[in-house]
Amino acid sequence: MAKPPRPPELYVAVDIEADGPIPGPYSMISLGMSVVSRPEHSFYTELRPISDDFVPEALAVSGLDRDRLLREAPAPEDAMERAATWVEGLRTVGRPVFLAGPAVWDGMFLHWYFMRYIGKSPFGVTGAGVDLRSYWMGLTGREWSSSRKSDIKQSLGLTGLPHTHHAGEDAAELAQVFETILNRRAEAAGAADRRTEN
């Protein structure tokens, strides 16, 4: 009996905003996720800060009001439980794969928060996934210095796609960038196959 086909991988574009350089001493204050090629699947939450320490310049990037977050944002336990439930719910249509740009920054905060507040990550024990910049370097042969997200968007003709530092909007931006990359790769592979056939 033939095995049923594996469900497709779902690249979950993740963006976080934080009020400092590392989790623990500082806080993740917002989290956005958006599934590549499936914009109807998206998630956003703000989070209550977990310490009194913050870097004013880092906080200013997001434009979020820390006092409001302390009063109104959900506790990290609640926010991360909701986030994990959302990711797990995607398994009805595919296999979630973490995607970020850079994966080191967003992944560091996301994995720490999942492990600290609910004891496990829906992206697996390491929280590993795809890094946009590394993927682009491998695909194009570009150097690191020529693989910033702005460089990638310029190469793809996505110059009108803003980066707002709102975690939900920036997750959707990342999803669109990666979708365009995957489409271009598929087009190039198709053209190569046609040349081989001829």
- Return the axis-axis angle of helices 132-140 and 149-156, rounded to nearest 10°: 50
Catalytic residue (choose from 111, 163, 165, 166)? 165
The residue among 12, 2, 6 whose CA lies nearest residue 121 is 12
Q: How far is residue 183's CA from residue 198's CA, in Å, rounded to a whole number? A: 23
Number of H helices, E strands in the chain: 7, 5
Q: How far is CA 166 from CA 53, 59, 121, in A?
A: 21, 12, 23
User: How many alpha carbons fall within 13 Å on the CB side of residue 101?
Assistant: 28
41 flagged as catalytic = no
φ, ψ dihedrals at 186, nearest 5°: -65, -40
Residue corresponding to tokens 């967003």: 106
Q: Which residues are catalytic?
A: 165
